[in-house]
Structure 1
């Protein structure tokens, strides 16, 4: 076996990911220093697939459901923002196949049902969102992507698809106690950045047009729910580590350089934390960028519909 070949190809595969990496805004290291640490963590995991001549398996917890705030998104179903992101992920696998014939597969671990009431979206709306995602995979012929969600976990499966019960079991078996999570979050700048970002998302998502309470009360509620969202998210991550132990783990959030997860952007955005389900696709000078709906409208963006459904903006 040519170990030099394995090393070269493994580095190429990781470099495909690293060029889209989400970084923390206030990093004390240079890009080169960060990537050197990341390679030390992930090269052995990628090489393990090459040694066995198996397709590289990526897992990405993402695509939960649309934000309930109409100032951020166009509606409740996937639109151009999701389409572009899915096409990007599929093309990532296609590019890897060019120089590594076994190729790669991307498993999207759709986590909307993991959070449920914590994000203010009912399970029925999450089901509709995920159904549309599956249709998009077929319509766009994205053959390297599959979707895994809470209903696919056999130990949580119930005959009536009771997601409240599944979430309860997930937390009981796979999560840390809230007190331990708070201690971990406040113990590092990376942890505080995550907590603040999730709090901001929850606050913005709850600031709906019909809300009549105080912003301070909403902020306090968002802080409380943020710890619960992180608890559920980490529990989901622990479950996925058990389900897919050898997979290369990706994330839609910035990650510490020594983490087993690599944060990636799926489309250009000026906000290091913004995602397709918290924003809209905006075409500017022929190129798409992700931003909040309110920002696109402030720039006099023209709403484009496809098959009578809101899709994206053009500026």
Structure 2
């Protein structure tokens, strides 16, 4: 049975139906193969695909080659829309819930600036397609949160709250090229006409059961799938890595649980996620058969386009696994919350009464004064969204903390010692802030800033989190 694909959202976030339960013809009509070969159709389709590829996952040396390997298939999908002058429809299983590791990776359970940037990026991609192809484009987000949340000890209520807040965010920011699916779009289970929190929570288990009953494979050997299928193996390795970091505070090592046992159990959970993922992928293919399939995971590029949601220089590309920060140069970066908290120049910026992102504060004034810093709009130079973004202001004090004072006193004592004068290891450390410390002139740099640079140069943990790997792996 063909299921209804109705996009349920709030306010200006569009609702659209492409497949009916009665089996009515979808908006994309079957066309003859010779129409796909039409030169004009091919040319437009190729331009559309070029735009989509600009937003693809680009963290690996062979990323472009992988995309080009799938170009013929992707052109065929896009070409069907172009040949019938209909809107290009894409679907992206993503945005499940915030990481279970609230202590180190994310602020809380609700979307923040990271999700806003990611949604804006998808919306901008669709806008750009519309500039060269009048019917435009739409990206449907299919949240997979309820598929996996119980495996990660995420309550159904948190999954609901995240999804609702995400819809509201898209509506408030005017991301009109973003749509959202509901669980009724994937499986046929009795649900109220309008889904509310209690009904959602009451039916979450029913959904998972129906999903596995309808689309699961009882005889699947997941170990063999991992061994023989490159896409499955890459997803599995990604699951293992992010689960190990996500669950370490929920299932801590100790009290009878060894580190080896923890890693063994993480591997088991990753395989359970894969088994459900196979069923979920089949449900998505059944419910959205004509859509261009996008993915947040690294892949071979043969079946889906791997998309980068956070176009930063680090490896963290999925907003529910990290936080974002606005640097002094206006560039957005992404990393776990705990890494930003180590940086004394990073200030938490609140929006709607809760932490949203970090901002780098530089040029701090003398003690007793306050420096006003105005946050940049999330769109930046890349964004071309339909709705303006509100600007916000935050105040940062410039005085040293008690901890800073203690560290400065200890540093001063050390710098006067014979050991410091005999050991030039710090001077040769190559720390980016050391030049400012050594070249200090009273008329060029305030005492407070100099002390901050000194603290940063000597005491900052430079281990960091700079490894370039796919964001989902954490």
Q: Same fold (TM over 0.5)?
A: yes
Gaps of 5+ in 1: none
- Cα distance, 1:212–1:164 mapped onto 2, change above 3 Å: same
Q: Report if the CA contact (8 A) 2:316-2:335 is conserved.
A: no
- In the alignment, is residue 93 of structure 1 matched against residue 126 of structure 2? yes
Instruction: Name which of 127, 140, 144 aligns with 1:111.
Output: 144
**Distance in 1 (alpha carbons) for counterparts of 2:289 and 2:301:** 20
* Residue 213 of structure 2: aligned partner: 172
1:73-152 equivalent positions in 2, closer than 5 A: 73-152=106-185
Q: Distance in 2 between matches of 1:131 and 1:157?
A: 21
- Number of the residue aligned with 1:22: 57
Please, which moves more after superposition, 37-46 or 262-271?
262-271
The 3-state SS of whatever aligns with 1:156 is coil
Rate the CA distance shift 1:151–1:125 in 2: closer, same or farther, 3 A: farther
Query: 1:43 and 2:75 equivalent?
Result: yes
Q: What is the CA distance between 1:212 and its match in structure 2?
A: 4.8
Q: Secondary structure at the match of 2:181?
A: strand
Displacement of 1:153 in angstroms is 3.9
Do residues 297 (structure 1) and 332 (structure 2) align?
A: no
Q: Distance in 1 between matches of 2:115 and 2:87?
A: 25
The structure whose residues are more often helix, as a share, is 1
Which has the bigger relative contact order, CA under 8 A and spacing at least 6? Answer: 1
Calculate the aligned-residue CA RMSD, in Å: 2.2
2:469 counterpart residue number = none
Task: Decide whether the 8 Å contact of 2:231 with 2:300 is kept in 1.
Answer: yes
Cα deviation, residue 282, structure 1? 1.4
Match of 2:326 in 1: 283
Matched position secondary structure for 1:155: coil
| Match 2:271 to one of 224, 227, 233 | 227
Partners in 2 of 1:107 and 1:88 — Cα distance? 14
Of structures 1 and 2, the larger Rg is shown by 2
Contact 2:294 2:305 in 1 (8 A): yes
Of 263-272 and 224-233, the range deviating more from structure 2:
263-272
More deviation, 76-85/249-258: 249-258
Task: Compare 143-152 and 233-242 and name the one that shifted more.
Answer: 143-152
- 1:14 alignment partner, SS class: helix
Q: CA deviation at 1:26?
A: 6.9
**Partner of residue 288, structure 2:** 244
Partners of 2:219 and 2:354 in 1: CA distance: 41
Partner of 2:407: none
**Aligned partner of 1:311 among 334, 340, 356:** 356
Q: Is the 8 A contact 2:234 2:298 kept in 1?
A: no
Give the whole-Å Cα distance in 1 for the aligned partners of 2:190 and 2:246: 29
Determine helix, strand or coil for the equivalent of 2:70.
helix
Query: Bigger shift: 8-17 or 177-186?
Result: 177-186
Contact in 2 for aligned 1:85/1:276 (Cα 8 Å):
yes
How far apart, CA to CA, are the structure 1 residues paired with 2:212 and 2:71? 32
1:220-246 Cα shifts (integer Å, max 9, x gaps): 211101111122122111111111111
> Match of 1:199, SS?
helix
Rounded Cα–Cα distance in structure 2 between residues aligned with 1:210 and 1:184:
28
Which residue pairs with 2:96 in the alignment? 64
CA shift, 1:154, in A, is 5.3
Specify the SS of the correspondent of 2:47.
helix
Structure 2's unaligned 5+ residue stretches are 1-34, 193-198, 361-474
CA distance in 1, matches of 2:343, 2:205: 41
Distance 1:222 1:274 in 2: 22
Partners in 2 of 1:84 and 1:197 — Cα distance?
A: 23
Please, what TM-score do these two structures have when normalized by structure 1?
Answer: 0.91
Q: Report the Cα offset of residue 175 of structure 1.
A: 2.2
